[in-house]
Amino acid sequence: MITVIDYGMGNLRSVQKAFEKVGYQAKVTSDPADVETADRLVLPGVGAFKDCMDNLRDGGFIDPILRHVESGKPFLGICLGLQLLFTESEEFGRHQGLGIIPGKVVRFPADMREGGEELKVPHMGWNRIEIKQEIPLYRGVENGSFAYFVHSYYVVPEDAQSVATATDYGISFCSSICRDNVMATQFHPEKSQQVGLQILENFGKL
């Protein structure tokens, strides 16, 4: 059983259906008690960083998430669920995150260009991931595979060894992280077709 946290921010049904497609039961829950007993935990998210942190706090999820991470059991963050792991974000001010991964969340620079053309923000659509760590989450995923992104901010880990993949969009940015039992992707595996399904299947096997 894979537990997906419902804190009012994210398209949870698509994550649940993607896990089911690769043969795993996924339970969507808004009950912190379910997080306490989860074997594998998924934190998805879309929207504003501060709103998500407020919802996690108001829902009583923060301490159960931290205890799950400390227990060594597998954890997967998706999109904003990656950003929330970090120390702080500069989205609409400066806001504290969960502090699990040292580092910050910053906005893409203005006036990024590629091939003479200005790049739009948010970064939206398909882009390549360059694998920096050979980890179980990417078993069977070819380096340079395409994944689906929708975001205006990206993470900057203090420790470069936390970077699992990098992606180029005007700049090279960290598109996923891995530290011990904590894994998280800026891209959406549930929207990334076969590559994403392979990643979710790999997570289910951990």
Question: What are 182-199's pLDDT values in tens digits?
Answer: 999 999 999 999 999 999
Q: Is residue 95 annotated as part of the catalytic site, yes or no?
A: no
Q: Which of 79, 91, 95, 174 is catalytic?
A: 79
**CB pairs under 8 A, 24+ apart, for 34-37?**
34/3, 35/3, 35/5, 35/61, 35/64, 35/65, 35/68, 36/64, 36/67, 36/68
pLDDT in the model for residue 77:
98
Going from the N-terminus, what domains does the chain have, and what CATH number goes with each? 2-205 (3.40.50.880)
pLDDT in the model for residue 114:
87
Q: Which of 95, 174, 190, 201 is catalytic?
A: 190
Token pair of 146 as six digits:
């395409």
What's the sign of the alpha-carbon dihedral 198, 200, 203, 204? negative
Token pair of 15 as six digits:
């994550």
- Taking the model in full, what pTM does it have? 0.96
pLDDT in the model for residue 1:
86
pLDDT in the model for residue 41:
98
Q: Is residue 134 annotated as part of the catalytic site, yes or no?
A: no
Q: Which of 52, 123, 188, 201 is catalytic?
A: 188
pLDDT value at 10 more than 80: no
Torsion of CA 19, 67, 30, 148, to 10 degrees: -40
Q: Please choose, from the candidates 179, 181, 162, the residue with its C-alpha nearest in 3D space to the C-alpha of residue 72.
A: 181
pLDDT in the model for residue 75:
98
Q: pLDDT over 90 for what percent of the chain?
A: 92
Q: Is residue 188 annotated as part of the catalytic site, yes or no?
A: yes
What pLDDT band is residue 37 in, cutting at 50, 70 and 90? very high
pLDDT in the model for residue 115:
83
